[in-house]
Structures are given as structure tokens and as C-alpha cells.
Structure 1
Amino acid sequence: MVALLGLGLTTAPLASAAPPAPSIAQGNNWSIRPVAAGYELTLRLGAPAPMRASLPLLAVDGEPIGVAKQSNDLRSLTLVTTDPAVLKAKDVKLVWSGDLGQDGKKIESRAAAKGGPNDAYWLKPKLGALLKDDPAKAGKFKVETSEYNLGDEAVFLPGLGQKSEVVGKVYTPVGATGKRPFVLFLHGRHSYCYGDATTPQDKPWPCAKGEKPVPSYRGYDGAAQALASNGYQVVSISSNAVNAYDGGAYDAGAQARAELILDHLKLWKQWSTTGGGPFGAKYVGKVDLQNVGLMGHSRGGEGVARAAVVNADRGGEFGIRAVLPLAPVDFARMTVPGVAMSVILPTCDGDVSDLQGQKFYDDTRYSVTGDAATRSTVTVLGANHNFFNTEWTPGQSEAPSNDDWGGEPKASPCGEKYAGRLKAKEQQAVGTAYLSGFFRLHLGNEKQFLPLFDGSDARAASAGRAVVRVVSQAPLASRRDVNRFDSALPKGALTGKASAVVCSGAKLTSARAATPTCLSTDGSGDSPHWDAAWFAAHTPTMAATRLSWRDKTGVLKLNLPAAQRDVRKYAALSFRAAPDPVGAPKVDLSVRVVDGRGKAVSVPVSKVSDALTRLPGAKENGLPKNLLRTVRIPLSSLKGVDLRDVRSVELRTDKVAKGTVYLSDLSFSSPGVGISAPATKLVKVSASDVKVKEGDKGTQIVDFFVRLNRASTRPVKVYAETTGDLGATVGSVARVVNFKPGQVKQKISLPVKSNTRDSYDLKFQLVLSVPQDALLDRSFGQGEVIDDDPTPTLTVGNLTTVEKNGEAGFPLKLSAASDKYVGLRGKLTDGTAVLKQDFVSQYDEWDPGARDIEGAVEPGQLKGELVVKIVDDKVKEPAETFSAVLDQGDGGEIKLPVTVTGTITDND
């Protein structure tokens, strides 16, 4: 319906809880009013909104308009849009970014769904071999736990503009000698206080008297104990202050979470070198801050990703070598090059339902030339968002908690009583196995755990019955890419009745020709690779090849150049694949490898992988998830093929007569740990801040600059787009920014319409995303258009009306037209005329006996009125008077309080 303006609103807040004047669209708990940037929607809730990782949206008549700014008490939400059609609204509701269908409509409930065509398979799927060593098994060290608390407002976070607590739980391996690898856990967005406040307060943090902080940081004991008992120093930190304030942050708190992590690491640097603080000399010489791993859950996942990048931007003070986002958000499409990364994706996530963390993997895998790190995704079937943290799990938590999936208990495949759904302790066991295994692999070089993350689907016994599917990008040193499937196939590669097209889930305006959309579904967040991000909505998502065929004659043949035909040093041929969600429920291909003598071996995909078997669930509630999964063919199985002289790899349609599949990332590879370290040698790309006066005539130009910190020897690319309160005043942009070698600055110009009317200052952002061969430094440039026109004077007059008129207004008048909604509010008081008997408030139908009076001069107008309803009592009586005491206003110059008189003349 409309253009999204989103967070960072600068319009004046409503000073009254009453609905606005009847001439503006309004309902029992919502209002829409004109403002300089367009139209401001405000929704007031009867109870605080739940704390979720997903972004809050406002939907008008069922259609989501955009990201809303939450008040500190979580009881009101506001956004600005440019479309006047919203003034015809009949209904405004809060919906969440994770609960939306492809058509933009809200899914009202997760009703019991019929099983998908492959649900039975996923209840008893093929499983990989068990590892001999279990990463969750307790090690030889006893674990000592302690906590530190430096205060609720111990550190200022610039990315939040607020002070945060510094609180952590420490897990120490008793008796371990030397410097120990250091692992830090960060929880996500959850309620930050619980209990009944006995003393109201204006700010949400620290907790009010009578409340307690929610101890979310204590919820990862299983993984922390497993790591510490095997010799790792673990700290889990609290971020309740960030949760309290991130509803108004320009980036939903990602930068603030990164700053909080680095603040804790700086403290540990002090405590492990010179000592001091709560631990004295206990940890001096005991912590290796050049061997650091970060785990972030939910919005904490974006936080740890950002922390790794900020640390590299600042010269790599800390050796952050491994990052694990757990059920994360990725609102702004950052990349995390240089460090080992594994993203855990729970298929029954009821909060971050679109599994947007998949894009961390997709966007990073080829983002930097020569990147030597390894990365993976770990998809856990039957797991929800909350239960990885015991403090977010009913029956285990200290504060109130819930199952984020909800819906019918027996609904397939995510209902709490469905056979494929993991119980809370089962899910926590999976989390412990993969968190412990990941950090032991990459910080401790315990290579026995590599099969958990290399795509071979090995299992840990402690993960129990959980069905897990892993996609891995092997490190560059042990990988030879054959075809990424992100650009047109070589000429002549296709024969038979088959076709192929490169597709992407998003179109980038004004930068390149639009590519076909990969999917068109009516699901909710069912396409993690291709759903748009909220703060980088126009940045292209991952490109893939969609292969379709109509009979069994189709062949996609990729010839290997002479220099790449010897593949003996590699362990497997692999690629990512997924079935088309609207095609036949069962589809298959053959992979044929041919050598120079013409000797060939053909392997059906279904023999080695279930990547072409749809994931569980019917086409409802964001299910089944359309995720590319691993097809891995061990080269040892290609008996008779000369691996010194492989000439071609073919994908053949000889197994099924008709079908469509998605393909990506075909390569020869061997498992490897890779080389992981902060990417300090990369150039850094930043967006400037811009502040400009609006002006009186014509069009002003706002120039953002996108800069590199130094010249690069390679081309650098980054995507840039505007978001925020653009309205009709500021032009928008979405484009790719290319730097040739040697270039360090590019200009992005936006037009600003000038006028002579008083307006609000407008704040907006230029967002940078998905850089190529660069790190994101300042990824949000802040723009502001300063209004330079005088505020007009507002006057209000007395009212004289005849009783039979029924409705009347105290006249409002402005000295000059304004772009603002110039409002005035107050209370009605009795005189000889009495409330209810002779007059009533305009809000009486919502609040019987109300005395509120409110009115406005709308943008562009000179006159308005304060409306009051007159009671026609049919009784002959003398003229009567009442008063309006006006003490609140915004948008115009007026000395308050002011009292005006209303006179009612009888007509009986």
C-alpha cells in the first residue's frame, strides 16, 4: 500500500491518551493524523506488547504498513507513512515480521495443519553415523561458577544512547593451567523485568521497585558447563538494558549489543592481565583473549556478528575466531568474513519464523576474495526459538516464559505434542552438543568434531533423536569451486528438454536488471534465502539457478578446465539443492561424473541425500521451509573414474520425468578447519552523516558519502538504500555502490523539497549492506533535514452556538499555514452549563463522563476547531456557559494555559 518510513520518528508525540479529533481516522485504541512526513499511525495497547526478536509492524485493515517504533512502556507503537489511503482505515493492529505471508497478510493463528506429503519420512529419516567422541560429555575439569555485577547502569552504549548493566555469569575450569580459550554467550530480546512494580517510573530500565531483572544470561548452563569442564573459560552476559531501549534504536540494537560485548572483553583483558575488579588476581594469566568465541541467541545473534566486525574494524584487539548465531535475526544484511561461523536454524521457530539468519551464511560465503575461514548452517527440525535458553522455557525459568510456536498441540510438524517436535530438554541437549562442538573445534582445534559441521551429517549421541541437516562451505584451501550457479550457465551447458534461469528473491531498483524471483508462495517466511531484510529491503538476496525439465532427456553439463581436472586431493563432490515447493512432492536427479576416457559413474541424489525431499509441513504457517541442503558424493564411491582426469560433472533428469529444483555452490572439497582471525586487513566502508537545512525555494540536495578508509587494490562493492522518515520531503535511493581500485569516495545525492512552512525535522538513514571485499564500519549513515521556518502563532476563540446544532467547535486559527498537525488539548469545566446535561466530550462514547477536549489545525490549513457535543434537551432555558481550560499543545506558538468560554443559546 505505502512506502515504509519505519524507525527514528521525529513527529511530536501525543500528549493525551484520548483519540484524536473525529475528523481524523481513529478507532478505540488507534489514531491516524497528518504530519510533515506523511501520516502518523499510533496504536495504543491494553497491555505491554510481548518482547520478541521479530520487528513490530502496524497493519492497516490487514495489510502491514511498516516497522513501528515502540514506546518505552511497550504500550504504544507509532510509524509514519506517505499514503493518504490510510485515512480510510477501519482497523489498525500490531503484527510481527515473522508472522507474515508472502502476500503481506498476517497469519491470525497457527491452526492444526494437515501433514505435508513428506512428514512421515522426516519422523524416521536417514541418519548419519555417530561420532566416537561426544562434545557435550563432561570433561576432566570440575566447574566453578560465580557472577559479577558492576551495576545496572555501569556502562554507556553509544549505539543505544543509554547506560547498560554489566552483569555476567562465569564458568571456570578448576585446575586448568595456562591461558584458556574464552567463550562469551549473549542472550537475545526477551522481557527484561518481571513482578509487580510498586513505584511507577518514567524509564523502563533499571527495573522499577517491586520488579526483578529477568536472568536470561543464566539460561545456557548446559553448553557453558560442557565447555568449561573441557578447559574453556566461559562467560554469559546480561543485556536487559538493550532489550529495554532497542525498540527505538535505528538498527534495533545490533551496534549496542556489539559494544556491550566488547566492553565485557575489555574488562576481562584487565582482569586477566593486571587483575582488579571483583576477582582480584584470580584470572591473571588464565584467559586467552586472542582465542575468543561468541555465541548470540536471537537478536544477540546479530549482536555477536556485529561485534566480530566492529572488533576487526578497530584493529582486532581481541582474537575473535568463531561466531555462532543461534536462531538469529539479520535485519541489515551484514557479512562476517574472516572468522569461522555456524548458524543454527530451528525449523519451528515461532519468533524469527523466517529463519533470516540463513543470510549470514549466504551473504558471507563469497564476500571476500581469499577468505580462508569455514562456515556452516545447522538446521534443527522440531526446535523452537525459546527453548535453547532454560530461562525462556516454561517449567524451568525463574520469570514467566512460553513456547513461542503455540498453535494446536498436535499440529504437524511443530505442535508441542506432535511426534517430530523436540521436548525442551531434547532441544537444549542439541544446543549443548553443537555449541560445545563448534567452539571446541575452532578454538581448541579438536578436529574430532569437524564431522558435525562439514555437511556429512554425523551425529552426536547427546543430541538424541533430533534430526539435523548441515550445509558447509569448506575453507578455500580445501575447496575447488566448479560453479556457484549464481550467473548464467556456460553456452551449450543445457541439452534435452530442460531449462535454467538464475533467480533471486529481491529486485534492486536503478542498479541492474531485475532477475526472476525464485519463489512465489503464500507461506509465511518459508523462504529464508529469498525473503527481504527489513532494513535492507532492496538489497538483492542470494542468486541461485532454477533448473526445470519436462522429460528424462535433460542434461546440465559442466566441463572442467584442464588445470582443474585432477581432483584426487578432495574428499567429495557437493552442492546445495532444494525442490520446487509447488511441483511434485518427490523429485530426483542423477549426478554423473565423467573422466577423460569416457568412463562415468552416475549417482542418484536420493541415494546420498534427502536434499530433494521437501521438509515437513503443509503449505501453512511458514512451512515447509524452502532451504537449500547438502548433496554430498564421496569421491571414493566413484569406482572406475580416473580422479586425475575428471572432464565433466553432469546433472541429469533421468530419474523423474518432470520437475524443478534450485541449485547452488557446486564444488570439490575436503573437510577442514580453515584459518580464522579478525579480518583486519580488509578496507572498511562507511556511510557519512548528513544534516541540511530545508530551505525556502526549489530543491536542496543532500549528499551522503560512502567512503573507504583507504584505497583498495581490488574492486569493492556495497549496497546502499535509504530508510526512515523520508515522507514526501526527501527522495529515496536503492543502488549498488562500486569502487574501482584506488577510489575511496562515492557520492549519493538525495533531493529535498524546500518550502516556507513550519515542519518537523526529518531523520532518516542510509543503510549499507552485503559488502564485497570490505568490512562494514559505519553501516548506518544518519540523515537529518532541519526545518528553518518560523513556528506560526496559534490563537483560540470563544464559542457561541445554538443548542439544536448538536456539535460545535471553539475556533482555532494559525498566523501562517504549517506542515505540522497543530494540536491543542485540555479539559471541559462546568459553568451554568453542566457536563452530560448540557454538553459532552467528543470522547464520551469511548470514555463515558470524559472531560477531554482536543482539536487541531491540519497541515496546510489556517483554521481548525476544538469540538464539543451539545445536548439538545427540548427544555426552554436561558443561555448557559461552560469553559475549556487548555494546557497542552504542540506545533504552534501559544501561551498556556488558556481558558475559553462556550455559550449555549437555547432554541426551544
Structure 2
Amino acid sequence: MRVLGRTARSLSLGMVALLGVGTLTAAAAPEPPPPAAVKVAQGNQWDVRAVQGGYQLTLRLDAPAPMRASLPLLVVDGRPMGVAKQSANRKTLTLTTADPAVLKARDVRLVWSGDLGQQTAGKSRGIAPAGPTDAYWLKARSAPLLPADPGALGKYKVDTAEYNLGDEAVNLPGLGHRSEVRGKVYSPRGAVGPRPLVMFLHGRHEVCYGEPTHPSDNDKPWPCPAGMKPIPSYRGYDGAANALASNGYQVVSISANAINAWDADAYDAGAQARAELVLDHLALWRKWSTVGGGPFGTRFVGRINLQNVGLMGHSRGGEGVARAAVLNADRGGQYGIRAVLPLAPTDFARATVPGVAMSVVLPYCDGDVSDLQGQMFYDDTRHSVDGDTAPRSTVTVLGANHNFFNTEWTPGQSVAPSNDDWGGEAKEAPCGAKYAGRLTAKQQQAVGTAYVAGFFRLQLGHEKQFLPQFDGSDLRAASAGKAVVRVVSQAPLASRRDLNDFAKPLPAGAVSGKASATVCAGVTPPSGQERAATPTCMKTDDWGNAPHWGAAWFASKTPTTAVTKLVWTGTNGVVRVAVPAGQRDVRRFAALTFRAMPDLAGTPKTDLTVRVVDGRGQAAAVPVSAVSDALVRMPGATGMGLPKNLLRTVQIPVASLKGVDLSDVRAVELRTDRVASGSVFVSDLGFSSPGLGLSAPAVLLPKLSASNVSVKEGDKGTQLLDFWVTMSRPSLRPVSVYAESSGDLGETVGAIARHLVFKPGQVRQKVTVPVKGNTRDSYDLKFNLVLSNPHNGLLNESFGHGLVVDDDPTPKLTLGNLKTVEKAGVVNFPVKLSAPSDKYVGFSGVLQDGTAVIRKDYTTVDDDGTGTVDRSVTGYIEPGQTTGDFAVKILDDKIKEPTETFSLVVKEVDGAELKLPLTLTGTITDND
């Protein structure tokens, strides 16, 4: 959900990621210091305090921060410091960083991980010029229509009903709070026998709307306070639900407002909680469809097939349903989850979804998850399990934003306030609301309906007439209208022959002429930051335009997709991929396919020739431009996260390779003979045919888990905190996974990143994280060991929780009486701490008159002499110090008077031992 226009954006995702803030997560924020603690830097609505291992930065907002799928970031003087933790009312954001730059901060503001753009917040950048290929995409080629329209209503009338078991009906361990159990049901009237079930999960949107009766009484975000109503986001997918139900499918759309309300505190931004909620609803439907009960009695007994289930998740719901499919497999596959459709999803932790059919929908004009990080689900899963038989695809929809797939997030359709998440100038290319290439809300919803309904009818109902919608041939649904859609597909294993994924260097002699082929991954980091072993693919200030290569927020050191960058300076360049013996007969395949895209740093217009050579030396040559626009730059001017650099499909029908002996294909060549110089990226070369494959929960894969560990900090040197990463059973083939420490590590916890490879028979490995000890009293520190991007395994407990327990005694605080003279001005009561502490030691008290009178003889330091005087006084001792401030102001006059006294009654102390209440005496000696 996106609720701010782009005029409120201030920094690109790319710059955020490049500065390495992915390891700073909201989940691991240390215990905050007491309010009385000193501020080492402060400004308008923000302050900085020293805490264990670094500095805590806090920003306070006048109004709650918007509810978005992206993660909140705090930026200091234009530099991102990390992911912030939000308070329950979303008015306070905090993070801890070891970066001393915060001590010199002049400006602190909130930005979002998914924001495009590099302009200062609150300033419009005006209308950007059109990109060089925008005109092409307005008239882009269109494939033929599908023989049937997946968005059309079918023969069944649709009955709807809702169920509501309460706002706090189920406990979600991944959230630490209770959630509502509420859903809308769409049923095909008169359908006989058990029907496939499709469950929809909405994403992160505002939770309640209206005005609270007592706005100051309750900061608890869920259930909605009196006077407010829950936003019915779960009712926003009627189009796709009715299209499916009218064609014989059972559909349930569920509410997740409680998760949205509380997931700012979740270690994984709520992915596990959303998965648990999906499985909780499936458990209810298992009961209601077998023995009945609940609100429906026996109405659904025998009507639902829970061994044929599909899940659609929008926004953070996309990550939730991906996690639900894996969690279901981890638990033995009790539900037959066979198809998953993440719609404009987040992917904060680089999870994979093997075994099940998957299609990821990527809206090109997404103004919330605008880095299109859902692309990683496809990239990471496509080769994550050897022998995986499920198909997968990505569906890029030009002109579509994040919100409008849900009518309850769409202005003019929603019951609560909503907006266009893209924002910006209305006529701005290519995504402004009134730009010719931008889809209206109804057009976008029609596209969403066509692809959601088509995908589940194909995968759950095996309605093969919809296969061309997802196999890369881009056949169109009539109901999708003018929408320009590009599909990238990985055919099932039985329907394809992989030749080269271009993720490893080519053998010697494979490249000739004035050309080079280099394996690359990621984008160029700023100077001074550690560079990866693999060369980076491109230089950009904004990873919003590089969806294949953006760093994941909870797994920032996990390598991104590796591809080959082909660069040439002459028309004689050749990249030759040899076809091994035994794989040369390609007659059974429909097409030669690969993924490709132009390099924005290369020639504006580029092309390649694909040449297929047989054993007799006969060849057929096909220009890429003749069959695909994969090498046409995507729309948009450079900057603001555009144009997107997305690998797209090149598909050459095998039947078009005239004169070639298809039973004896020896090589596939990429030739540079069409353009004198250029640069392109290529990936995933092979032969394939459309196919459904086999899709089912991947229950046979070993499950990978990280342990939870705690260690005492120790007094000196480095303590070793040992996590164990374990597999549920031995494997006959190697299993690998990436593991890295993540959280507000500061200087206390070592940042580690490892690629763990489990040899056959091996079931556990140790990951050691160093922890620096000291003798100072400190806060306990929480952080995570995150597992990501496994190969030949499933992620079970993918977040291991680490706890560094402070083992030093709390120091004792001594406060003394004050003796001073009238002319002294600001003076301190004596303050002494028995030992230095890593905490702020804060204390407060109230001034009481004696013979001295406030505002006549003394006052508080902050008293400006107007209004009612605030008699409270706060004091502090900075971390690492043993003395501090407890100040009052002595007022001078020219009148001779006797010695006078006043009292300071200390009532609160944090971070030190002191017997309370304690009354201190201030004595003022006259100097006139």
C-alpha cells in the first residue's frame, strides 16, 4: 500500500542499498534508553543518543507514518542510516547505527525502501522528459488473443458469504499478537463435488478508518479504537474471485489487518505471521468441508478439495503466501498447495518456493514496491532444486501501479481513503495518471483478473487453453484490453533442455572476434565499500531500476542473480554455446529460448543474431528483433527508478530453423553482426516446449533451520556465539544455503556472511558470530542469523535469534547536595556513578521551594519566564562516563539577603541503582 505521492520521496532505493543498510533491520532494535537520557545531537523532531554498540536515532512525526509494503528508512543529511522500527502509533521511528555521522546530523527524515527518485522530500522534480523508447511501447507489438478469455464469467452463478470469528480469534506466533479470522467466500452455485480452493491474501494497507472517539486514549493499533472501522481490504478482489468462482472454483479472500497493525515489530516484517494465518484459515476449511460446523454448518461438506489449493498474495501478502507454501511443505504437505501467485510482492529475505507452480506479477509503475523485488522469487527459485518439475513465470504489466489491483485501495472505489501510489505529475511518461500508456484503475483490475484467474485455472484445473498466457508467447486475454504485458517463463523440467544459464564463465574459445563475455551480478557499490568477488553488471545510483540485482533487506549479502554481459566493438563477435552429445536432437521442442535485455550504458539501439548450427555445418540465423523486443530498452527516462532493467524472453520457434538438421544441433551462437558496437545481458539459454509439469508441496526436501542462541557478553576480549544450522535429515546430494548476521549489530556483534554447503550425510554446521565483551553495564542486544536462497533444501526456521546478555552489575548512583553562590548561573547538583556504563543513566526530580523561591532565586534551565513554570528537572550521565549533569539555574539580583535553600526531590532513575525517593538540598549564598 502506498499513500504518499512522489513529491514526498527523497532518496532512491539504490542509494540506500548501495550504502549497505540492508543489515540494519527493525527486528533487532535494542531496548531503547530512558526518556531522560541526554541527547548527543538533536534537531527539529529528532535526536541521537549513544547506546551499546552505537547511536540510537529517533524521529518523531506529527502524524502517523503511512502504512506501506516497503520498509521505513531514516536518512541523515541525504545518507540512509538503515531500516527503522516504528512505534505502535507509527509516529516514532528509531534505529541504531554505529555510524558516527549521526553526531553531525543537520537533517533527519523518513523515506521508504521502495521509493524511486533522488529528489529532496517535499519538492516536485517537475515533468521528466520521455524516454527514448516510450513511443515504441505505446504501440508495442501485440500477440494474438487467447482462444478463451480467463477474465470472462463462466456458467455458474456466484454465491458470496462472509465469516467473522472475531478481531483477536487466533494467536500468530510469528507476530506475537492475536489476529482476526475473517473472510469473504465466493462459491459456484450448483457445482457438484469437491472444487479446487483459491485463497487470496491482501497486503499491507492502513488498518482502520474514521475518527477515533478518544484519539489520545489508545495507541493500540488493533482492534480498531472506538469510532473507527476496519478497512475491508479482503473485499478488494471481487473481479478475480468472481471470474474463478463462476468457472467452478471455490475462492476465499481473508483479512490480515492485525498483522498490518503489528508487523513493525516482527523480525521478518510479518512474512511468517501471514503464512501462519493462511494455514489457520485452511485448517478451518478442512473442518468445514469434512465435518462441518462454524458459521456454515454442513454447507461446504464435500465441496472443497484441499489437495488442490492455490494462493494469491498481494504486496507483503505475496511474501506471505510464498512462505505459506514452504511452511506447508515443512509440515508434511497437509494441504495440496500447488500454485502460488505473488502479486506486486515484497521479498525481504530471498526465499525460494520450489515444487509449486508460481507466477509473479510485476506492475511496471509500482510506486510502493517500486524496485520490483518480487523478480527475485523467480530468479532464485528457477534452479534452486535439481529436478524441480514445476513451471514458473513472471508477468510484467506496463502502466500498472501497486494499489489498483485491489478496489479497496483505489480512489472512487474504496470505502476508506485511498490513492494512486505512483503519484507525481499526471501527464508524466511513462506512469503518470493521464499518460497514454498508463492503465486506468478498471483496466488494471481487468488485467489482474485475467492473469490471476488464468493462472489458477491453468494450474489447478489444468485448463490448457490458458497455457499460452504464461509460456512466454504472450497470447493476450481479450478482457485485458490494451495492456502491454511481457511474460518470462521457465517450462517444467520435462519440457525443456537447459544449455547454459550464463551464470558461469564460458569455456576457452567460446568467444571470438571483437567481443567479450563476462559473468556479472549486482550493481557497482560506492567507493570504499567491499566489492563482491563477481564483477558487477551495471552502475546505478538507484537499485529501483535493477530488480535482478537489488539487495534484500534481511539478507543483504546473499549474492544476486548472475548473468553474462556481452560487450562488442565489431560485427564479427561470436559467442558459441556447444550442444553436448546426447542432447543434440531437439525435434520434440517447440522453441529455442533465452532471456536478454540491453545495457543502458551501451548503444541506444541494439540487436543480435541467433545462429543455430547442425553437424553438417548448415545453419539458420534469426535476428532477435524479428521475434522479440527483449533488446528494446524499457520505457521511462533515466532516473526515478526507470527504466527498469528486466531480462525478457527471446523465443525462436524451432520450426522456423529451416535447413537445419534438428536431430543433430551442434551449437547455438549469438552474433554481433547487426550492430557495430553494443552491450547486452543474457541468461538461461535452452530449448523448451509449453507444459504443465508436476506441481506439489516439496515434502521430500530436507528442511534447513537456524538455532536460537544466547551468550553472556563477558568482561573482555571476544566471546563466540555459536549458531547451528541444521537439516531435518541427511541428503544424498549436496545442499547449500546462505547465512548472515542481520540486525542493529553496532560494534558489539560481528557482521558475518557464509555460504554453507552440506555434503551428503552431513546434517549440521556451526556458524560462529563474534561478540565483544566489556565490563560496563549494557542493554541486552538482539539480532538474527538469517538463512536465504537455499539449494536442494527448504527453509524451515530461517531466522535464528541471537541474544547477547549483559552480565555486568548495575552501577550505583550517588547524588549530592548543592552549595553555590547567587552569581553562579547554571550549576549542577553533584553526580557520581560507581562505574562507567554503556547505558544512558537518566534521573529526574521535582523542585520545591524552601526559603528560596522559584523564578525569584532559582529556576529550571529551560524556563523562559513565560507561562506556568515546569518544576521538573532531568539529569543524565553519558555512556562511558561516571559524572554528569543535574542542572538548575541560579538567579542573580542586587539585593543583599541571607543564605537560602530549596529542595530537589528525586523520584525516578533509569540505568543505575539509587534508593528513592531522595531529597537533595540546594543552598544559595548571597554575593551582594
**TM-score (norm. length: structure 1):** 0.96
**Aligned equivalents of 1:412, 1:873: Cα separation in 2:** 70
SS in 2 for 1:386: coil
Alignment correspondent of 2:262 = 245
Alignment correspondent of 1:96 = 112
Alignment correspondent of 1:445 = 462
Contact 1:713 1:741 (8 Å CA) reproduced: yes
Q: Please state how far the C-alpha of 1:94 moved relative to its aligned partner.
A: 1.1
Q: Please state how far the C-alpha of 1:473 moved relative to its aligned partner.
A: 0.3
Q: Please state how far the C-alpha of 1:364 moved relative to its aligned partner.
A: 0.2
Residues 709-728 of structure 1: per-residue CA shift (max 9 Å, x gap): 11000001100000123222
SS in 2 for 1:863: coil
Alignment correspondent of 1:862 = 882
Alignment correspondent of 2:284 = 267
Alignment correspondent of 1:519 = 538
Alignment correspondent of 1:462 = 479
Alignment correspondent of 2:179 = 164
Residues 85-132 of structure 1: per-residue CA shift (max 9 Å, x gap): 32121122111111266x999896564211111011111111111112
Instruction: Compare 406-415 and 261-270 and name the one that shifted more.
Output: 406-415
**Aligned equivalents of 2:894, 2:539: Cα separation in 1:** 64
Contact 2:524 2:540 (8 Å CA) reproduced: no
Trace 1:559-708 onto structure 2 (pairs within 5 A).
559-708=578-727
Q: Please state how far the C-alpha of 1:642 moved relative to its aligned partner.
A: 1.7
Residues 288-337 of structure 1: per-residue CA shift (max 9 Å, x gap): 00000000000000000000000000000000000000000000000000
Alignment correspondent of 2:42 = 26
Trace 1:137-176 onto structure 2 (pairs within 5 A).
137-176=152-191
- When residues 455 and 332 of structure 1 are mapped into structure 2, their CA distance, relative to the original with a 3 A threshold, is same
Q: Please state how far the C-alpha of 1:560 moved relative to its aligned partner.
A: 1.0
- When residues 900 and 493 of structure 1 are mapped into structure 2, their CA distance, relative to the original with a 3 A threshold, is same
Contact 1:506 1:541 (8 Å CA) reproduced: no
- When residues 397 and 867 of structure 1 are mapped into structure 2, their CA distance, relative to the original with a 3 A threshold, is farther
Q: Please state how far the C-alpha of 1:839 moved relative to its aligned partner.
A: 3.1
- Code of the residue aligned with 2:402 in structure 1: it is H
SS in 2 for 1:437: helix
- When residues 880 and 661 of structure 1 are mapped into structure 2, their CA distance, relative to the original with a 3 A threshold, is farther
Contact 2:523 2:539 (8 Å CA) reproduced: no
- Code of the residue aligned with 1:856 in structure 2: it is Y
Trace 1:302-313 onto structure 2 (pairs within 5 A).
302-313=319-330
**Aligned equivalents of 1:590, 1:104: Cα separation in 2:** 41
**Aligned equivalents of 2:797, 2:141: Cα separation in 1:** 46
- When residues 502 and 455 of structure 1 are mapped into structure 2, their CA distance, relative to the original with a 3 A threshold, is same
Contact 1:63 1:106 (8 Å CA) reproduced: no
Q: Of residues 47, 53, 57 in structure 2, which corresponds to 1:41?
A: 57
Q: Please state how far the C-alpha of 1:446 moved relative to its aligned partner.
A: 0.5
Residues 599-623 of structure 1: per-residue CA shift (max 9 Å, x gap): 2221111111111111111112100
Alignment correspondent of 2:150 = 135
- When residues 311 and 799 of structure 1 are mapped into structure 2, their CA distance, relative to the original with a 3 A threshold, is same
Q: Please state how far the C-alpha of 1:507 moved relative to its aligned partner.
A: 9.9
Matched, 1:893 2:913: yes
Q: Of residues 82, 90, 101 in structure 1, which corresponds to 2:98?
A: 82
Contact 1:511 1:736 (8 Å CA) reproduced: no
Residues 337-363 of structure 1: per-residue CA shift (max 9 Å, x gap): 000000000111111110000000000
Instruction: Compare 695-704 and 167-176 and name the one that shifted more.
Output: 695-704
Alignment correspondent of 2:209 = 194
**Aligned equivalents of 1:582, 1:775: Cα separation in 2:** 38
Q: Percent identity?
A: 68
**Aligned equivalents of 2:745, 2:50: Cα separation in 1:** 14
**TM-score (norm. length: structure 2):** 0.94
Q: Please state how far the C-alpha of 1:597 moved relative to its aligned partner.
A: 2.3
Alignment correspondent of 1:478 = 495
Q: Please state how far the C-alpha of 1:752 moved relative to its aligned partner.
A: 2.0
Q: Of residues 771, 779, 801 in structure 2, which corresponds to 1:782?
A: 801
**Aligned equivalents of 1:619, 1:830: Cα separation in 2:** 67
- When residues 35 and 511 of structure 1 are mapped into structure 2, their CA distance, relative to the original with a 3 A threshold, is closer
- Code of the residue aligned with 2:445 in structure 1: it is Q
**Aligned equivalents of 2:243, 2:187: Cα separation in 1:** 11
**Aligned equivalents of 1:687, 1:512: Cα separation in 2:** 27
- When residues 565 and 286 of structure 1 are mapped into structure 2, their CA distance, relative to the original with a 3 A threshold, is same
Matched, 1:393 2:410: yes
- Code of the residue aligned with 1:500 in structure 2: it is A
Trace 1:299-448 onto structure 2 (pairs within 5 A).
299-448=316-465
- When residues 761 and 130 of structure 1 are mapped into structure 2, their CA distance, relative to the original with a 3 A threshold, is same
Q: Of residues 705, 718, 722 in structure 1, which corresponds to 2:737?
A: 718
- When residues 455 and 834 of structure 1 are mapped into structure 2, their CA distance, relative to the original with a 3 A threshold, is same
Matched, 1:842 2:862: yes
**Aligned equivalents of 1:345, 1:873: Cα separation in 2:** 73
Alignment correspondent of 2:12 = none
Instruction: Compare 582-591 and 424-433 and name the one that shifted more.
Output: 582-591
Trace 1:92-131 onto structure 2 (pairs within 5 A).
92-99=108-115, 111-131=126-146
Residues 243-274 of structure 1: per-residue CA shift (max 9 Å, x gap): 11100111000000000000000000000001
**Aligned equivalents of 1:827, 1:58: Cα separation in 2:** 35
Q: Of residues 81, 105, 108 in structure 2, which corresponds to 1:65?
A: 81
Trace 1:798-877 onto structure 2 (pairs within 5 A).
798-802=817-821, 804-828=823-847, 832-835=852-855, 838-842=858-862, 852-869=872-889
**Aligned equivalents of 2:755, 2:119: Cα separation in 1:** 26
Matched, 1:558 2:577: yes
- When residues 517 and 848 of structure 1 are mapped into structure 2, their CA distance, relative to the original with a 3 A threshold, is farther
Alignment correspondent of 1:227 = 244
- When residues 232 and 166 of structure 1 are mapped into structure 2, their CA distance, relative to the original with a 3 A threshold, is same
- When residues 529 and 798 of structure 1 are mapped into structure 2, their CA distance, relative to the original with a 3 A threshold, is same
Alignment correspondent of 2:749 = 730
- Code of the residue aligned with 2:519 in structure 1: it is V
Contact 2:499 2:579 (8 Å CA) reproduced: yes
- Code of the residue aligned with 1:163 in structure 2: it is R
**Aligned equivalents of 2:165, 2:898: Cα separation in 1:** 71
- When residues 719 and 847 of structure 1 are mapped into structure 2, their CA distance, relative to the original with a 3 A threshold, is farther
Residues 768-817 of structure 1: per-residue CA shift (max 9 Å, x gap): 00000000011000111111221112233343444554433333221222
Q: What is the aligned length?
A: 904
Residues 534-584 of structure 1: per-residue CA shift (max 9 Å, x gap): 000000000000000001111111121221111010000110001001222
**Aligned equivalents of 1:876, 1:225: Cα separation in 2:** 90
Trace 1:528-539 onto structure 2 (pairs within 5 A).
528-539=547-558
Q: Please state how far the C-alpha of 1:698 moved relative to its aligned partner.
A: 3.3
Alignment correspondent of 1:770 = 789
Matched, 1:214 2:231: yes
Instruction: Compare 853-862 and 321-330 and name the one that shifted more.
Output: 853-862
Instruction: Compare 659-668 and 86-95 and name the one that shifted more.
Output: 86-95
Alignment correspondent of 1:290 = 307
Alignment correspondent of 1:8 = 27
Contact 2:428 2:435 (8 Å CA) reproduced: yes
Contact 1:5 1:727 (8 Å CA) reproduced: no
Where do 5+ consecutive residues of structure 1 fail to align?
Answer: none
- When residues 781 and 106 of structure 1 are mapped into structure 2, their CA distance, relative to the original with a 3 A threshold, is farther
- When residues 856 and 644 of structure 1 are mapped into structure 2, their CA distance, relative to the original with a 3 A threshold, is same
**Aligned equivalents of 2:169, 2:251: Cα separation in 1:** 21
- Code of the residue aligned with 1:160 in structure 2: it is L
Matched, 1:56 2:75: no
Q: Please state how far the C-alpha of 1:664 moved relative to its aligned partner.
A: 0.3
Where do 5+ consecutive residues of structure 2 fail to align?
Answer: 1-18
Alignment correspondent of 2:514 = 497
SS in 2 for 1:548: strand
